[in-house]
Chain A
Amino acid sequence: MRVAIAGAGAVGRSIAGELLENGHEVLLIDHSPKAIKVDSVPRAEWLLADACEISSLDDAALQRCQVVIAATGDDKANLVISLLAKTEYGVPRVVARVNHPDNEWLYNESWGVDVAVSTPRLLSALVEEAVSVGDLVRLMTFGQSEASLVELTMPDDAPLVGQRVGGIEWPADTSLVAILREGRVLVPQSDDPLQAGDELFFVTSEDVEEELARLLSAG
């Protein structure tokens, strides 16, 4: 797959490295000569250009990319790159980085964004996940859908402790996908009893999240 990444900062370069590892073809674009560090990702193709300009994107042959990642540190640039990638080059999958949480609401299909990745939100979700017991924490939302991955650490006094997974009636459109117990991943079987300290991972839809939270904390 050919992937173009706009913004060759730490974020762009590290995504490039991962994608190259997985056998993809990567083009890194940055408008600052200082950011062009070819030695840091030698297997990527590099382009010194402003990714907000049509002529640069023509040079980058964006129409041949299956994925474009707008990963610069500037939300305005990321939105414009996404818009141009989608409307002018018909790129099937556009992923954009949100730098400032206040701008997150702009990242949607009207700007050509298929998937918005918000660093501050991810960071706060991870911190929340690390410190909270008994609260439902949303780890991520899938694309622009309403499905999300949520996590909950079972407190000692949770009503569901000791109950069989198969005997619990989860809210609609909710699936318990994994249990993390003492550092090991368990694929939930209907006969497994839940234990205090279990980390439960659900894929669920936004509108039943509250119901799920109530079920898990009721008592």
Chain B
Amino acid sequence: MHIVIMGCGRVGSTLAHILEDRDNTVSVIDRDPEAFRRLGSGFKGDRVTGIGFDRAVLTQSGIERADAFAAVSSGDNSNIIAARVARETFGVQRVAARIYDPRRAEVYERLGIPTVATVRWTADQMLRKLLPEGGEPLWRDPTGRIVLAEVAFSPSWIGEQVKALEASTMTRIAFVDRLGQAFVPEPGTALQEGDVLHVVAKEGDLNRIAAAFAARGGEH
């Protein structure tokens, strides 16, 4: 594959090396020629100096035959513009843009540009290392909207089937951790004491779900 990377910072240069090691051809674009020093002398691909959404610069980087494009410069605006140009003007199927601002990342995802929302992700990772377990979701999708989280449930659900809990709380249970073994439950799986339930949900719904799991609604 041929892959074009815009932005030769730490992320861009690391990506370039990994991709090249996996037998891809790589071109790196940066507006500052000094930045290419990060690539070192071992890098065999093209170094293109210029603005990453300039058509001539992109053409020089081989965008027309590129299979993928990564926008990892330090500017959110440059990254989204370059990613859209790569996708919409040059028809590159796989593009991804690193976006610091989490709310804009959400907008761009909706517009069909996959984003890596660095700030949200880093903050999460830090929190998980700083706070006791369970305080934060285990996983968050790149836009930061959907989370995988552990949710405690009321003992009154013990013995009930997973599908009953799901239906009553309008929630999807992704997997169950039982005695140290994780498995994907069947609708008919009965809940046991000590089960740890993991749900996939919109982050904003987590409180509602926790409340619904803690009380046993829908009975009588």
Indicate which residue in A77, A87, A102, A105 contacts B77 across the interface (CB closer than 8 Å). Answer: A77
- Among the stretches B16-24, B99-107, B197-205, the one at the interface with A is B99-107
Within 8 A of B (CB), among A91-125: 102-103, 105-106, 110
Q: Is the pair A52, B107 in contact by a Cβ cutoff of 8 Å?
A: no
Within 8 A of A (CB), among B28-49: none
Q: How far is the CA of A102 from the CA of B56 in the complex (A)?
A: 10
**Across the interface, which residues of B come within 8 angstroms of A178, CB to CB?**
none
Q: Is the pair A106, B81 in contact by a Cβ cutoff of 8 Å?
A: yes
Q: Nearest Cβ distance between residue A100 and chain B, in whole angstroms? A: 9
Q: Which residue, of B75, B88, B104, has the highest number of chain A Cβ atoms within 10 A?
A: B104
Q: How far is the CA of A105 from the CA of B210 in the complex (A)?
A: 50
Q: Is the pair A54, B107 in contact by a Cβ cutoff of 8 Å?
A: yes
**Across the interface, which residues of B come within 8 angstroms of A52, CB to CB?**
76-77, 101, 104
Would you call B176 an interface residue if the criterion is a C-beta within 8 Å of the partner chain's C-beta atoms? no
Would you call A76 an interface residue if the criterion is a C-beta within 8 Å of the partner chain's C-beta atoms? yes
Would you call B118 an interface residue if the criterion is a C-beta within 8 Å of the partner chain's C-beta atoms? no
Q: Is the pair A53, B77 in contact by a Cβ cutoff of 8 Å?
A: no
Chain A: interface residue total (CB-CB under 8 A)? 17
Main secondary structure of the interface of A (DSSP, over half): helix
CB-CB under 8 A for A53 and B111, given A76-B81, A77-B77: no
Q: Is the pair A53, B88 in contact by a Cβ cutoff of 8 Å?
A: no
Would you call B157 an interface residue if the criterion is a C-beta within 8 Å of the partner chain's C-beta atoms? no
CB-CB under 8 A for A54 and B103, given A76-B75, A87-B111: yes
For B50-63 the 0/1 string (1 means CB < 8 A from A) is 00011100000000
Indicate which residue in A76, A84, A102, A106 contacts B107 across the interface (CB closer than 8 Å). Answer: A84
Q: How far is the CA of A209 from the CA of B79 in the complex (A)?
A: 38
**Across the interface, which residues of B come within 8 angstroms of A80, CB to CB?**
76-77, 80-81, 104
Would you call B161 an interface residue if the criterion is a C-beta within 8 Å of the partner chain's C-beta atoms? no
CB-CB under 8 A for A54 and B104, given A76-B75, A79-B77: yes
Would you call B85 an interface residue if the criterion is a C-beta within 8 Å of the partner chain's C-beta atoms? yes
**Across the interface, which residues of A come within 8 angstroms of B81, CB to CB?**
76, 79-80, 106
Would you call A32 an interface residue if the criterion is a C-beta within 8 Å of the partner chain's C-beta atoms? no
Would you call A88 an interface residue if the criterion is a C-beta within 8 Å of the partner chain's C-beta atoms? yes
Q: How far is the CA of A74 from the CA of B111 in the complex (A)?
A: 22
**Across the interface, which residues of B come within 8 angstroms of A84, CB to CB?**
104, 107
**Across the interface, which residues of B come within 8 angstroms of A79, CB to CB?**
77, 81
Would you call A55 an interface residue if the criterion is a C-beta within 8 Å of the partner chain's C-beta atoms? yes
**Across the interface, which residues of A come within 8 angstroms of B53, CB to CB?**
76, 103, 106
Q: Is the pair A76, B103 in contact by a Cβ cutoff of 8 Å?
A: no
CB-CB under 8 A for A55 and B77, given A87-B111, A102-B54, A110-B88: no
Binding site for B on A (CB under 8 A): 52-55, 74, 76-77, 79-80, 84, 87-88, 102-103, 105-106, 110
Between A and B, 8 residue pairs with Cβ closer than 8 Å are: A52-B101, A54-B104, A76-B81, A80-B77, A84-B104, A88-B107, A106-B85, A110-B84
Closest 7 CB pairs of A and B: A76-B77, A54-B103, A80-B77, A76-B81, A76-B78, A77-B77, A53-B101
